[in-house]
Amino acid sequence: MADKTIMLVCSAGMSTSLLVTKMMKAAEARGLDADIFAVSAAEADHNLGSKEIDVLLLGPQVRFMKSQFEKKLAGKDIPLEVINMQDYGMMNGENVLNQALTLIK
């Protein structure tokens, strides 16, 4: 099992796949054992119920769902944040990985 599990949520799960690849390369370069994956908003509930998630990051295009996810995560001690729009647009895996790791206690 990975040391850190980072779940990214976007509208279809597709747009974040490139970002996931870049985040995994950044984690590998640091020697960090991380399970980083992207799902659609519709698949998020299943993953929250079946995996130990350390942090959940929302893609900027689903930022309007943040309050819904806050309710879903209530009492679960899983940090939630929206990915920085500039880092997302530039597909900056290093910065988004840093954002995720900063949120994990």
Predicted local confidence at residue 16, as pLDDT: 87
SS3 of 16, please?
A: coil
Of the pLDDT bands very low, low, confident and very high (cuts 50, 70, 90), residue 47 is very high
- Choose the catalytic residue: 6, 8, 10, 41: 10
Mean pLDDT of 36-55: 94
Can you name the residues that pair with 4 across neighbouring β-strands? 34
pLDDT at 1 > cutoff 70: no
H runs (alpha helix) in 1-105: 17-30, 41-50, 66-73, 85-89, 93-103
Query: Which residues, other chains included, contact 27 with Cβ-Cβ below 8 Å and sequence gap of 6+?
Result: 4, 33, 34, 36, 97
Q: Which domains does the chain have, with CATH numbers?
A: 4-103 (3.40.50.2300)
Q: Does 10 qualify as catalytic in the annotation?
A: yes
Tokens representing 6 are 């980072």
Percentage of residues in the chain having pLDDT higher than 70: 97
- Which residue did the predictor score with more confidence, 41 or 105? 41
Query: What pTM was estimated for this model as a whole?
Result: 0.94
